[in-house]
Amino acid sequence: MADLNINPAFVKLVGTGKIIKSAPSGADIQAGEAVRLQQSGVRTYVHAESNWDEGSDMAGIALNSASINQPVDILTEGELDVGVGTGLVEGTTYCLSSTVGKIAPDADVGAAEYKTVVGVGLANNRLKIKPVVSLAQIPGP
């Protein structure tokens, strides 16, 4: 399996959810990408990733695209419609990918990565977002 192929144009909130409004972006972020609060320097939201402990401290999923220093809304818990054709599978648990900002099936998280659960597929276009940040590193061989 591979990272979800989310088209930013199709990302939208389903119903209500917990949202951080107009957060400052510290990178060029696309709707549907996983983000975290940068802890050092200027506190802005940047891409999350599973390659290192601080990088895996995911805050949520961007609801809109934003250039650096522009506001981004972040879904921290709720249901997200990402459109069809993303590779999303109902019942599959999704985690942070080792590719910055991306989401991958749990089975794709490998040795030495830090496991952060993003959510669970509800249908081929819907993802239940409820991050679980473990800061636990998967043992290597």
Q: Are 34 and 99 contacting, i.e. CB atoms less than 8 angstroms apart?
A: no
Q: Are 70 and 41 contacting, i.e. CB atoms less than 8 angstroms apart?
A: no
Model confidence pLDDT, tens digit, residues 56-98: 999 999 999 999 999 999 999 999 999 999 999 999 999 999 9
Average model confidence (pLDDT) across the chain: 95
Q: What one-letter code names the amino acid at 120?
A: V
Sketch the domain layout of the chain as residue ranges.
8-137
Q: What is the pLDDT at residue 4?
A: 97
Q: Which of 130, 104, 139 is nearest to 18 (CA)?
A: 130
